[in-house]
Structure 1
Amino acid sequence: MRLHRNLVFAVVDCLQLIFNKGEYADKQLHKTLKLDKRWGSRDRGFIAETVYDIVRWQRLYAEIGDAHQPYKQEDLFRMFAVWATLKGIKLPQWSQFHNTPTRRIKGRFDELSKIRKFKASIPDWLDELGLKELGNLWEEEIYAQNETAPVVLRANRLLTNRDQLIKSLSDENIYAQPVKALKDAVKLTERADVFKTDTFKKGWFEVQDSSSQMVTELLDPNPGMRVIDACAGAGGKSLHIASLMQNKGQIISLDIYKKKLVELKRRARRAKAFNIETRHIENNKVIKKLHNSADAVLIDAPCSGLGVLRRNPDAKWKLKPEFLDKVQKTQQELLQAYSKMLKSNGILVYATCSILPSENTQQIQTFLNSESGQNFKLIKDQSILTHKTGQDGFYMAKLLNNVSST
């Protein structure tokens, strides 16, 4: 493989903004890929894959390359040299790569691979927390979170079905296969830019991992119901709910971020989902007006995101212990407040893309032991670990309201 100077410099410049300026990897990469219109799909693919690889393995590569934050340009080139050497790519005779100790890189890699925090490339505090919460499961799980995630799509039942979706993608030279145990999920056989396809433009699918689809299926919304998606964000699950409800009934999608709801509306128009109403949570009055009104409520709670690190590798560097404390407090507050929107005998589903029991089973137990949760009964819950399933790490719990009346 021959390295091209403009592509390597694009990678290094992008990393500088991610590591030193705190930019989010996906957003910065999106900007970087627009810098040169001459770049083809292979060039853009190289930049994207290399940036994500080095972000993912930042601690390991920095340790091997003796790079220290804030990273100077020469530090980032050393980390790039580590990446290239471990990939078996010959370094060009550029001044930035003079005297790169190839043998030493491989030797240090072998040494550090015996230590989990380097092999998994994670902060000390996160390694300690994961071990405390997950015990023997932690090591396999954090290694799985460093693997490349598959691309999973959800067929939009409002416009098509899974078989038609697979055929339509195939006509555009993108190949997918059904995901067992899920009615609408398909997995690509190899990565592709699905957003440029006519199939996407027609609204026939959304990109949505199997675990995320399982959350909506656990909610089991039916046509004619009134469903509240309480932390809707950009609306992935709201759109799935609309699909399952066949556009019949009402979905109220709530969020504290107005911009996300604007994006939800745009996506809903493309998907031809017409029974979604968005409401911006400006204050507690928005929630109080909805008390005792919903047949089902979904709380897709804010969380650490530790179950989706393979999709968002920079999250492990941005995440701090104090944020975990704050978000766990928020999770319980949402359960306490948003559960009041349910009618008698309504269904509540609580979900996170975290693998930590402190964000999941412990939150549900705390809620059930509280005054607000005394009339709720846990029907089912499920913890999904990536190393066991190949899916995103998730937790979901289904609860029934007003057990005392049954």
Structure 2
Amino acid sequence: MLTYPLSGSSSELVLNVLTMVLTQGKPLDRAYSHNFSGVKLDPTEQARITVVTGDILRRLNLYCFIVDIEPTEFERLGSKLLNGWHLFHGLELPKMQYSLQVDAKLLAEKIEQAKLNQVLWDGCPQWLDELGQAQLQKKWPAERQALMQAPKRYLRVNTLKCDRQSLLTKLSKEGVQAKEVDDVDSAIEVISDSALFRTESFKNGLFEQQDAGSQLVAAAVDAKPGMRVVDACAGAGGKTLHIAAQMQGKGRLLAMDIEQWKLDNLKTRAKRAGAHNVETRIIASSKTIKRLKLTADRVLLDVPCSGLGVLKRNPDSKWRDTAERLPVLIDLQKQIIDSYSRMVKVGGMLIYATCSIMPDENRHQVDRFLAEHPQFEFIDDETILVSERGFDGFYLARMKRVSE
């Protein structure tokens, strides 16, 4: 956390980002991109801005409560909330051009009241707390508390170009402090506020920024050189590139998605990473899947989900998504796994994954699929809980096709 207050200009950037997220409904990453574009910022100061913005969003209802405003009032009263945030963390007030003051005595009283409500103190909206209790029961309080912590920065070593120790050495020479992650062979944790994407190591494709939990999902694919592998919900391709490294660039790796711009970004990343066996294909219709029936040794389905395992990293979704969206996502997941599983050949493996920790999206979905598709058998699964591993939360299940 900060040891001295934000500058006036940095405060304005925080308020601008939060206004885009809370009043315009923009995703946090796009709000950052819009506000940082064309602005010359020292990497350390940019990091401070993202620290404050992220912390406010992770516990938005708490900070609104202690300064007595509603989230819907942010555009008009945002400076009051930012001042309250500084006082809450024992910092002097930032010097903003226009600033609404906070009654320090009332703030202290509200903080004491908030301490009596653990759900509020953890920055959890009511809909999410009710859902978490219903889905995870006794495990939920620990997850709720873990999800309001700041995320750590993890990198995946690109083994197509280097190994973990050589990357650590190169990063150290570039002023980046990092260390090995003991239980994830491909991961290192960055422990300094370095500008990673300005390093020669990044430009040369030696690493990708990827959460350690996400790396465990890709590792479960267990792709081998020479295989035919399909990443059917590839997105921008973080897991695709990890699988390419598993395959040592040998074999065919097909990255598919319904959005062309994501695949275009993946092409750029694959070129930098030296992942020359990656092919991209837009899913234009169900015919795209039918043409690949019974052809793949591995099919990864990292399906659209609630994202409730990655709230540390994407805290804005807590204030945008609601429980009503979950049944819609569950139905979409069902459609994807039922349709896309047809690409797995006999003896091949289907890997189903989400960045959620909720059983309705995870094991319940897998159990339903297996009951309706006896040609697949269950191998194993894992829920990566935030409170237990410290990574983002994920789920993965592996199933083998035993007949047509």
TM-score category (smaller protein): over 0.9
Letter matched to residue 392 of structure 1? D
After TM superposition, where is structure 1 displaced by more than 6 Å over at least 4 residues in a row? none
Match of 1:379 in 2: 379
State the SS of the aligned residue for 2:324.
Answer: helix
State the SS of the aligned residue for 1:339.
Answer: helix
RMSD over aligned Cα atoms: 1.7
Match of 2:207 in 1: 205
Q: Which runs of 5+ in 2 are unaligned?
A: none
Residues 73 and 332 from structure 1, CA distance in 2 versus in 1: closer, same or farther, beyond 3 angstroms? closer
Match of 1:395 in 2: 395
CA distance in 1, matches of 2:332, 2:12: 41
Greater relative contact order, per chain length (Cα 8 Å cut-off, separation 6+): 2
The question of whether the paired residues in 2 share the 8 Å contact of 1:65 and 1:75 is answered with no
* Cα deviation 1:320-363 (Å, max 9, x = unaligned): 22221111111111111111101111111101110000000000
CA distance in 2, matches of 1:219, 1:98: 53
The question of whether the paired residues in 1 share the 8 Å contact of 2:302 and 2:353 is answered with yes
Residues 103 and 203 from structure 1, CA distance in 2 versus in 1: closer, same or farther, beyond 3 angstroms? same
CA distance in 2, matches of 1:148, 1:51: 11
The question of whether the paired residues in 1 share the 8 Å contact of 2:79 and 2:100 is answered with no
* Cα deviation 1:114-143 (Å, max 9, x = unaligned): 213311222211110100110111111011
CA distance in 2, matches of 1:95, 1:162: 47
TM-score (norm 1): 0.95
The question of whether the paired residues in 2 share the 8 Å contact of 1:15 and 1:51 is answered with yes
Residues 72 and 354 from structure 1, CA distance in 2 versus in 1: closer, same or farther, beyond 3 angstroms? closer
Does the alignment pair 1:11 with 2:14? yes
The question of whether the paired residues in 1 share the 8 Å contact of 2:43 and 2:193 is answered with no
Does the alignment pair 1:331 with 2:333? yes
Match of 1:256 in 2: 258
Match of 1:196 in 2: 198
Residue 238 of structure 1: how far off its partner (Å): 0.8
Match of 1:285 in 2: 287
Letter matched to residue 376 of structure 2? F
CA distance in 2, matches of 1:116, 1:154: 35
Residue 93 of structure 1: how far off its partner (Å): 7.3
Does the alignment pair 1:82 with 2:77? no
State the SS of the aligned residue for 1:296.
Answer: strand
Does the alignment pair 1:129 with 2:164? no
Among 301, 305, 315, which residue is 1:299 paired with?
A: 301
State the SS of the aligned residue for 1:121.
Answer: coil
Residues 72 and 353 from structure 1, CA distance in 2 versus in 1: closer, same or farther, beyond 3 angstroms? closer
Letter matched to residue 361 of structure 1? R
TM-score (norm 2): 0.95
Residue 97 of structure 1: how far off its partner (Å): 4.7
* Cα deviation 1:219-276 (Å, max 9, x = unaligned): 1000000000010001111111110101110011110111100001000000010111
The question of whether the paired residues in 2 share the 8 Å contact of 1:25 and 1:314 is answered with yes
Match of 1:153 in 2: 155
Letter matched to residue 386 of structure 2? T
Q: Which runs of 5+ in 1 are unaligned?
A: none
Letter matched to residue 331 of structure 2? K
Does the alignment pair 1:166 with 2:144? no
The question of whether the paired residues in 2 share the 8 Å contact of 1:116 and 1:139 is answered with no
Match of 1:345 in 2: 347
Q: Percent identity?
A: 37
The question of whether the paired residues in 2 share the 8 Å contact of 1:385 and 1:392 is answered with yes
Match of 1:49 in 2: 51
* Cα deviation 1:167-200 (Å, max 9, x = unaligned): 1101101121111232221111234321111000
Match of 1:100 in 2: 102
CA distance in 1, matches of 2:223, 2:285: 27
Letter matched to residue 327 of structure 2? D
Letter matched to residue 371 of structure 2? N
Match of 1:120 in 2: 122
CA distance in 2, matches of 1:93, 1:241: 49
Letter matched to residue 278 of structure 1? T
Does the alignment pair 1:33 with 2:36? yes
